[in-house]
Structures are given as structure tokens and as C-alpha cells.
Amino acid sequence: MPSAFRVEPGGRLTGSLRVPGDKSISHRAIMLGALADGVTEVTGFLEGADAISTMNVFRALGVRIDGPRNGHVTVHGVGLHGLRGTEAALDCGNAGTAMRLLMGLLAGQRFASTLVGDESLSRRPMRRVAEPLARMGADIETADGTPPVRIRPVPKLQGIEFRMPVASAQVKSAVLLAGLYADGATSVIEPAPTRDHTERMLEGFGVQVRREGGRVTLQGGQRLRATSIDVPSDISSAAFFLVAASIAPGSDLVLEHVGVNPTRTGVLEILRLMGADIEVLRQRAVGGEPVADLRVRAASLRGIEVPPELVPLAIDEFPALFVAAACATGRTVVTGAQELRVKESDRIAVMADGLRLLGVDAQPTPDGMVVQGRGDAAQVFGGATIESHGDHRIAMSFAISAPRASGRLVIRDTANVATSFPGFPDLASRAGLSVEQTDA
């Protein structure tokens, strides 16, 4: 049955809360744990639909995985060459990260595989991963650049030096995972920094990874050793509450145990440039990943031109940042974010449509958006029914506009919120918003 959020206007965010585990790290923990020798214990695992899809793919490939139980997962690794092929298609659901990383991981196997996904994932581009893998000797076929993806075995992959035309952590990760199965060295050169969870976790599993500036290199044939992984809270999920508390008068909220990997903190830097009051507390390292508590208090935001170097470091957080921009005084300009057009939805077009429906001057551009903020208004947004187009980040972004809305918001097609943030309505309500899951 279709689902929706019914969001009442107003609210302020107070107290402390912990958002679910990091989705990017949860995906990789299952993948690398499966390829390792020995048993990997994972805590803080995100029990969302996307990460569960990754888990089910590896079960289909012959890996025993126990859990999840309250965020705890046990992965019984089969080693670098221990996966078993299956004639059944491997269903990635809505998980674009899973599909793209699996393309690299499966390219070096001795069996054929077919990767499929849901309707949304079946429209997303896979050619930018398939092309560098083909340069390594992989035999990969797509449906005119989109899923299903068919991967056939080849005698051996060859290491390459790949200079990425566009910064993408998923493309980088796919090439590095294929590099584990390749002869010689595989190097990826980034045009701008992207999230480095794959490199950090490979090192945690005992793989030697050389990082020099924008170049990442590993030698093929290295074996992985099982380890323990504590998944921090997802900063992409925390971003919704960082924005909501910043725009809601009287808010004072602490977000606990948030991953603050420097390749993921673009949202913090952008919000601070806009005048947000965010304090980083209790910084520490957990399993090689930096973690901290974040205290955020209401603040008067100002419009900015987002520095281009921060865009790749906050690409998933821009739907929420567009809401912040609407509540700022002055104009906010985002450029260089064309990747937003090929996410679960065209996030530039969908956010601009929704913001205009709520009374905000938001002009989409080919690679970003120009938002004329209404920060001088107590109520920035009107009440309306918004179409999320099945995109979890769109749905949650409009839900957090409630503190500055004048009327009820109904956000349709919200079932996919469970892919990244199970329990979002309940947690938002605990924090001080009024978000109710309903049948549309």
C-alpha cells in the first residue's frame, strides 16, 4: 500500500538522539567481511532495506551471515575466491552503492552474474563503472548503460591507472575492489576528494593501500583478514536534524556517535559557512573512522555561494541543504552538483518543484540550483502535498521544513525512506517534530 508522511507545522528540536548506522560503511562491512578469511563481527549495522539487499546478495553467493539483531551482524568470510555463483539474478533492490561496488567485486570471479534492481535503480547509470572495469579486461554488459548488469568470467583482470573524469566514491571503490583480483597494481586518481570508506576499511582488513594526494593504489592478490567493525551513525542521516535544528527557533539538539570522516563533513562546513551553530564534541576514533557528538542550536542562516570543492563532500546532503537555503537570508548558489540529477530521482528538479510549490523562489540549473532565501520570514513554507518520487532523501528533506511551515505538509511515496533511515518518523517525533507515517 502506498505510504506518506503527514507533517504538522512548527516544533523545535531538543535533547539527544542517535541516528541509524552509516549506510556506506554498512554496505562495505558486509562485502569485505564476506571476502575475508575468518569471522567478522559488525555492530551498529544499518538495518535498512539497502544494506539488507547487500546482505541478501552475499547470502545468495554462499556466504553465511547471522543477523541483523539490534545492529549486530556476524559475517563468516569465505576468502577472496570463496564466493559461489548462482543462476538466479542478484537483486540489489534500491541500492545503487551495492550494485556499483558489486560490479567491481564480481568482475574478477570465475562465474557469471546478473545484477538487477527495483524500478528506480533500473533507471540509474552504470556505464561509468562498466567502462573502467572493461579497461581492466572485465566482460560487463548493461542495458544501454542501465541495469540489468551481466558480468561474465574472464581469465584474469589487469591492473590499470584510472584517472576519473568525475569525482565518484562508488566508481573509485568498484575499480579498487576489482583491483583485488587483478594482476599488478591498480591506481585510481581522483579529480577531487570523495569519501574514503573503502580505502580505510580495506586497510582495517589488512590490505596494503597506498594513498598519495588524489591517487589511491593497491596490489592485486592481497588477502583480507577478518576484523571487528563498529559502524558510526550516518552523517547523511544526521544532516536532516542538523538542518531542522538550525532553522527551528529555540532548538538545542545533540546528535550522538556521528561519523565525521573528513571526506563526508562537507555538510558541516557548508552549514557553518551559512552561519549554523554546530559544535563538535568528544572527537574519537572507532575502528579507523573518526566519530564525534554534534551539538546544534538554532541560528540565523545566510545565503552563500557553495565552494565547488565542498560539493562532492556533501552530494547526498544537498536536498536537506536546499531547505536550509530557503530559510537563509539572501541567495544561495550551488554549482557542480550535476550528479544530483542521476540519484534515486532528479534531485535538482524534484527539490526545485517542491520548494516552488511551498512558495520558495528556487531556480534549477543544469548542475545545481539558485535559491532565494526567505530567512526574514517566520514562516518560510506554505502547506501543500509534495511528491517525493520515491526518493528517501527528498521525503525527509521536506519533512524537516515543518518548523518554518504555515500549514500541514503531506509528503507522498515515502516507502523508500526505510532504505536508509528506518524509524525516521518516530525519531523525528522524539526530537520535537510532528511526523506521522500514514497510508496514502
Convert the pLDDT of each residue in 199-224 to its tens digit. 999 999 999 999 998 999 999 999 99
Q: What is the pLDDT of residues 104-148, one digit of tens each?
A: 999 999 999 999 999 989 999 999 999 999 999 999 999 999 999
Helix axes 169-179, 23-35, angle to 10 degrees: 10
Write the pLDDT tens digit of every residue in 326-371. Answer: 999 999 999 999 999 989 899 999 999 999 999 999 999 999 999 9
Q: Which residues are catalytic?
A: 316
What is residue 2's three-state secondary structure?
coil
Q: Which CATH superfamily is domain 23-230 in?
A: Enolpyruvate transferase domain (3.65.10.10)
The one-character DSSP state at 166 is S
Q: List the CATH code of the domain at 3-21+233-439.
A: 3.65.10.10
- Quick: pLDDT tens for 155-177: 999 999 999 998 899 999 999 99
Helix (H, G, I), strand (E, B) or coil at 204: helix
Q: Do domains 3-21+233-439 and 23-230 have the same CATH topology?
A: yes
- The 10s digit of each residue's pLDDT in 244-298 is 999 999 999 999 999 999 999 999 999 999 999 999 999 998 877 899 999 999 9
Kindly tell me the burial class for residue 61, based on how many C-beta atoms sit within 10 Å of its own C-beta (0-12, 13-18, 19 or more).
Answer: buried
Which percentage of the chain shows pLDDT scores above 70?
100
d(Cα 298, Cα 245) in Å, to the nearest integer? 6
pLDDT at 439 over 90: no
Residue 1 has pLDDT above 60, yes or no: no
Q: How far apart are CA 263 and CA 346, in angstroms?
A: 23
What is the mean pLDDT of the segment spanning 89-96?
96
Bridge partner residues of 185 (DSSP) = 219
pLDDT band at 418 (very low <50, low <70, confident <90, very high): confident
Please tell me the pTM assigned to this model: 0.86
Q: Where are the domains of the chain?
A: 3-21+233-439, 23-230
